[in-house]
Structure 1
Amino acid sequence: MSKQFSIGMAALAAITLGMTAAGQSTPLVIGVSIPSATHGWTGGVVYHANEAAKDLAKKYPNARFIIKTANSPSEQANQIQDLYTVNKINTLVILPFESAPLTRPVANLKKQGVYTVVVDRGLTDTSAQDAYVAGDNPGFGKVAAQFMGKQMGGKGNVVILRGLPTVIDNQRVDSFEAAMKTQYPNVKILDKKFGNWNRDDAFKVMQDYLTRYPKIDAVWASDDDMAVGVLKAIQQAKRTDIKFVLGGAGMKDMIKRVMDGDKMIPADVTYPPAMIADAMRLATAARSKGQKMPASTIIPSVLVTKANAKQFYYPNSPF
């Protein structure tokens, strides 16, 4: 089993701080393959990837970055092949559109000698990657449960909006339920349904919850896009029993509401789209010295409150 390596903002800064192009010989050609900005979080991914490429190009003159965005798994598979055959990349940083369809294409590049770094959505065969960078999905659920249980005074009714049926979502929800059961057994989870990390779908799910449950104390939306839909449904229904909604991922509008002391959005949990930038920085720092990255880099989920929200506010980001 590969050794897992956890990293926070300070540790990442320590790794990259002061790194220069000194000692670089072989040109680095880094392909960055990411989904298109089809919703808020991936919009943030695109933004942070482009910002990181500009910053890293200044620090590492011997490195060249080619960023490609895809609207489907098949388009992404074709793009990464082109990155190899046309652009001659020797390093790939990829956030897969979906895990299964991208596993073989990434594995093929690795066989050709391309150093492969997978971000967030893990491949179905981990041998296809050299390194993995992701947020802490179990931690995401645990941090959310701990905050909600405490905020509710250890009792009350909660409804959950899940993301998509993926390993990531399972890890988040399982951890949330385990933490709540252990630490706050008097908090009752009324229901959990998929909102697909989409505000419109979440709006419909929340409408259903509001119809079926006359008393809801709090909502774990588990994603800021879904939280937008949840809040809209609550407002339209004019329900006053719901004390707050907890989303996640760090959407700038939600972080601003936390900063401003909005009672309905008292906190957020990070699962930053900036992890793509973290992966690019780590890959560039390592490969510029001919070194390997840790097999697994997990970026902790952090509770964002009014006290620390300014640290996580990116007003120029689309997300």
Structure 2
Amino acid sequence: MFYKTALATSVMMLSAGLAQAEESYRIGITQNNVGVDSYQTTYESAFEEAAEKQGNVDIVVLDAGGDVARQIGQMQDLIQQNVDAIIIWPTNGQAVIPAIRQAHKAGIPVVVTNSKIAEAGMEYIASFSGPDNVQQGASSAEMMCEALDGEGQIVQIAGQPGYTTAMERSQGFEERLAEACPGIELVETQPADWNREKAQRVMENFLTKYDDIDGVYAGDDNMGVGALNAAKSADRADEIVFIGATNFAVGYEAIERGEYYGSIYQSPVDDAEAALQTALDVLSGEDVPKMNFFETPKITADNLAEFEKPVF
């Protein structure tokens, strides 16, 4: 009798296990602005590949094109579709909160990817998956301190105004700079919206305005290389230290050439895979941390060989 009961229990457990293994999920993602840079383009491809490898994940991939209203509409559409989970790369960390709250009320877990939302919306999300942008800014400040031996005059080229990633990187950089090397003066900050051509124009204006610029901190390498190009055209690149974040291929190559001091290594492939896995972990009932940060180390000429050249 015990044998039959144990056998029946084993069969039931096996059947349950197979059912769980075969369970499929429908996950929607609304991205910030795929066309703005190669990081987001690579992220999208990596996300689609990761979902395909899972075998049991059906995805709905949407792009807000940098438009908050469009992203809110996409969130509402995914809620109407009754997807199992929503991943959002927020266009604006404050404005998307009502749509996230709506998903939460509908019983759909939301995972925020790459860029955090405002604190007021954190209670409505299942988890955040992405880099610690404040720490990235702090790490860039430490590299600036090292490169300038704690003294100098610098400018900052920030990302998109109002965008959480841009604000956090600037915050981390400025706070750590003031703490670690008060002898370095940040004379001005201007945004360039993650765009290389805009960053080049911003840097051209800085070069006209300031006779002495010892360093440039850019919120990502796309903008950092735009600033580098402006300085090279003005024949002033040799006198300036360039430090960025989110190491793009162009930044990696500039470090190789000795024209760019350092950056923060961040993979869009890791970013996309982590977001999808976080959503799947939430759906499977695992205990998922509220803040899921992945590592983003400093990268300079000293350790460049330890990292693969980015594909974006």
User: Could you say whether these structures have the same fold, taking a TM-score greater than 0.5 normalized by the shorter chain as the test?
Assistant: yes
Question: What's the TM-score, normalizing by structure 2?
Answer: 0.83
Give SS of 2:205's match: helix
* Amino acid paired to 1:64: D
Q: Is 1:112 equivalent to 2:106 in the alignment?
A: yes
1-structure distance, mates of 2:170, 2:49? 36
Q: 1:129 maps to what in 2?
A: 125
1-structure distance, mates of 2:92, 2:280? 24
**8 Å contact kept, 1:283–1:293:** no
1:145 positional shift: 1.1
Q: 1:243 maps to what in 2?
A: 240
1:209 to 206, 209, 230: 206
- Check 1:101–1:182 CA distance in 2 against 1; reply closer, same or farther (3 A cut): closer
**8 Å contact kept, 2:156–2:189:** yes
Give SS of 1:77's match: helix
Q: 2:11 maps to what in 1?
A: none
1:309 positional shift: 5.2
The structure with the greater share of residues assigned to helix is 2
Give SS of 2:31's match: strand
- Check 1:225–1:89 CA distance in 2 against 1; reply closer, same or farther (3 A cut): same
- Check 1:292–1:75 CA distance in 2 against 1; reply closer, same or farther (3 A cut): farther
1:146 positional shift: 0.8
- Check 1:180–1:122 CA distance in 2 against 1; reply closer, same or farther (3 A cut): closer
- Check 1:251–1:213 CA distance in 2 against 1; reply closer, same or farther (3 A cut): same
Identity %: 22
Structure number with bigger Rg: 2
Root-mean-square deviation (CA, aligned residues, Å) is 2.5
1-structure distance, mates of 2:107, 2:177? 46
Q: Is 1:90 equivalent to 2:84 in the alignment?
A: yes
**8 Å contact kept, 1:215–1:241:** no
Q: Is 1:279 equivalent to 2:275 in the alignment?
A: yes
**8 Å contact kept, 2:267–2:310:** no
1:99 to 90, 93, 97: 93
Post-superposition Cα deviations, 1:180-222, rounded to whole Å, max 9, x if no partner, equal 2332232232222223322232222212211122122221122
Q: 1:63 maps to what in 2?
A: 57
Q: Is 1:30 equivalent to 2:27 in the alignment?
A: yes
**8 Å contact kept, 1:21–1:62:** no
- Check 1:198–1:90 CA distance in 2 against 1; reply closer, same or farther (3 A cut): same
Give SS of 1:100's match: coil
Give SS of 1:174's match: helix
* Count of aligned residue pairs for this structure pair: 290
1-structure distance, mates of 2:167, 2:78? 33
* Amino acid paired to 2:158: R
**8 Å contact kept, 2:161–2:191:** yes
1-structure distance, mates of 2:47, 2:160? 28
1-structure distance, mates of 2:178, 2:94? 33
**8 Å contact kept, 1:248–1:270:** yes
**8 Å contact kept, 1:35–1:70:** yes
**8 Å contact kept, 2:50–2:273:** no
- Check 1:102–1:179 CA distance in 2 against 1; reply closer, same or farther (3 A cut): closer
Runs (5+) with no aligned partner, structure 2:
1-16
1-structure distance, mates of 2:48, 2:281? 13
- Check 1:220–1:99 CA distance in 2 against 1; reply closer, same or farther (3 A cut): same
Runs (5+) with no aligned partner, structure 1:
1-19
2:227 to 198, 207, 230: 230
**8 Å contact kept, 1:132–1:295:** yes
Q: 1:313 maps to what in 2?
A: 309
1-structure distance, mates of 2:274, 2:173? 26
